[in-house]
Amino acid sequence: MFNPQFSLLALTLLAMSCILIACGGGSSSTSTDSDNDDSSIPSNSDNDDTNESLATWMINTSSRSAQIFESSGSSVGVLEDVQLAEAQTIDGVEYTYIETNGIPKYDTVMTQDMIDALNNRPLANSDFDAGTTTATVGDLVTFGEHIGYNSSTENCSDTGGSGYWPPGPGCPTSLERGEYFTAEPAPASNDSNCSTGLGTIGLMVNGSAIFDWGDGMSWGQNIWYNLAPIAEQYDVDICGGHAANGEYHHHFYTSCLADLVSDNGDEHSPIYGFAADGYPVYGPWENNNELAISAWKIRDYSASESEGGCNTPGERSCILNDVYDVSQGVNYNITAGPDIGENVSTLSGNTLAAVDGYYLEDYYYAQATANGAQLDEHNGHDNNDGRGYHYHITLTSDSGKLSPAFPYTIGPTFYGELPDNAVRSCESTTPGGPGDGGPPLFLF
């Protein structure tokens, strides 16, 4: 469970914006809104599973953003959500093909807690043009609408969205992407699971990208990797997302999407999206008021080496030899990380306490049996309930307060094989990381 000090977590990340209250389902008087048009979903397929999968996507062929435009200088808003979801067969393999611009239709009703969270940001005086948000309680804020932020100039002045995002990340742009998700996902063979890595690892049902736990930054040389939901907690919008190179994405749960899919925690969550390996990603609830449980635990650095600690209370002086088996001992031949609770600076200039659980290396797989609400090392399970294997977005509850729980969405590795035409390739790498752009997660 997250340390209570994570109350910083953007006031529960603001990212969770208005957890379990209405955050996105209203319509804006400034948008050319209409009901989602599902005419592009095939209705003549004999495959019930395929039809059910297609029906989860939020199809829209007419509603356009009033804030984000198709191109620089254009006055035509980007089509929101997903424009096409259809079954396709390629070389005898069934796929769901998705076309989207990556711009969601989020309409957020501002609450007093949200206004207070915005105005209490550590750098509010410089984050906002006037030192505070221009939004007021009861306002219906559409995705990309100006709420007073001193936003980046990246894309914002060209294609819109200035004032909706805090300083740092640029504004999202229309991606006009087409992606394939296998309709016949299969487990990875011979323990060859691919790391999730940086960039898109799946899509939400509204076309927004799913990113994993990392932001690619580390405190040391290829060690002490940032957990994006923590290190970037002041870099996300009121729906818990932001853009990288114009691509809007979520690293963790967003109540804005939860509201759109009518997930209020009174039963098993519906599908929130699909991973690159084709397996569905469900919301955080396993049952009525019961959260799915992550199998990853926070290390205790004061514990013995056989228990995954370093015998150094309050000090990050060692890393695990095997994050999947703490009995394999630890490695002291590394650059020590910040002390537990030591202040560190983020890319956006905020100062955060590096509490236990701030970095990737603070976690280990607890080897819990995936059954009931318990998840496996990939953040998924199969309970023989007709859903098959599926991932969960994960949260923890502390005295009724919900916070994102590592690994947040999918990962750290995929459960399934990655098809050649998947949104994510296992072979793509970045310096210092094994398969798929991730840090050296399994090479300690």
Confidence at 192, pLDDT banded by 50, 70, 90: confident
| Percent of the chain scoring above 70 in pLDDT | 84
Q: What pLDDT was estimated at residue 53?
A: 79
Q: What is the pLDDT of residue 400?
A: 83
- 427 — pLDDT class (breaks 50, 70, 90): low
Under 8 Å CB-to-CB from 130, ≥6 apart: which residues? 148
Mean pLDDT of 212-238: 95
Q: What is the pLDDT of residue 191?
A: 75
| pLDDT (0 to 100) of residue 149 | 98
- Cβ atoms of 289 and 267 within 8 Å: the answer is no
- As a whole number, mean pLDDT of residues 414-424 equals 95
Strand pairing partners for 180? 97
Q: Please determine, for residue 430, whether its predicted confidence score (pLDDT) is greater than 50.
A: no
pLDDT at 3 over 80: no
Strand 177-182 and strand 363-365: the pairing is: unpaired
Contacts (Cβ under 8 Å, ≥6 apart) of 384: none
> 3-state DSSP: the chain helix, strand, coil percent, rounded to 5?
10, 25, 60
pLDDT category at 258 given cuts 50, 70, 90 is very high
Q: Give pLDDT tens digits for 79-120.
A: 999 999 999 999 999 999 999 999 999 999 999 999 999 999
pLDDT of 124 over the 70 cut = yes
Encode pLDDT of 133-162 as tens digits. 999 999 999 999 999 999 999 999 999 999
| Mean per-residue pLDDT, 408-422 | 96
Q: Which candidate, 438, 442, 441, places its Cα nearest to that of 216?
A: 438
- Residue 32 pLDDT level (bands cut at 50, 70, 90): very low
Q: What is the pLDDT of residue 23?
A: 43
CA distances from 101 to 57, 79, 199, 205, 237 (A): 14, 7, 16, 12, 19
What's the burial of 147, exposed, middle or buried (CB within 10 Å: 0-12/13-18/19+)?
Answer: buried
Band (pLDDT 50/70/90 cuts) for residue 1 is very low
Task: Determine the distance from the C-alpha atom of residue 3 to the mean position of all C-alpha atoms in its chain, rounded to a whole number.
Answer: 20
Q: What span, in angstroms and rounded, lies between the C-alpha atoms of 19 and 194? A: 32
Q: Which residue has the tokens 């035509």?
A: 76
What's residue 14's pLDDT?
54
Q: What is the pLDDT of residue 224?
A: 97
Element (H, E) at 48: helix 48-55
Give buried/exposed letters for 46-78 (b at 16+ CB in 10 A, else e): eeeebeebbebbbbbeebbbbbbbbeeeeeebb
pLDDT at 399: 85
pLDDT, position 50: 61
How far apart (Å, rounded) are the C-alpha atoms in residues 120 and 135? 14
Place of tokens 């691919």: 194
How far is residue 64's CA from residue 81's CA, in Å, rounded to a whole number?
Answer: 9
Average the pLDDT over 254-277 and give the result: 97
pLDDT at residue 35 greater than cutoff 70 = no
Contact assessment for residue 377 and residue 364, using Cβ atoms and an 8 Å cutoff: no
pLDDT of residue 6: 39
Determine the Cα–Cα distance for residues 337 and 319; give it in Å rounded to an integer.
10
- Interval 382-393: pLDDT, tens: 999 999 999 999
Q: What is the pLDDT of residue 48?
A: 58
Element (H, E) at 364: strand 363-365
β-bridge mates for residue 344, sequence order: 352
Give the tokens for residue 193.
């699971």
Give pLDDT tens digits for 126-135.
Answer: 999 999 999 9
Return the bridge partners of 78, or none.
Answer: none
pLDDT (0 to 100) of residue 232: 95
C-alpha R_g of the chain: 21
**CA-based nearest residue to 201, from 158, 244, 137, 259:** 244
Q: What is the pTM of this model?
A: 0.88
- pLDDT tens sequence across 309-353: 999 999 999 999 999 999 999 999 999 999 999 999 998 999 999
16-30, 49-63, 417-431 — most confident range: 49-63
Mean pLDDT for the chain overall: 87
From CA 412, how far away is CA 221, in angstroms rounded? Answer: 20
pLDDT band with cut points at 50, 70 and 90 for residue 123: very high
Please enumerate in sequence order all residues whose Cβ is within 8 A of that of 214, keeping only pairs 6 or more positions apart, or say none. Answer: 198, 225, 226, 227, 228, 360, 438, 439
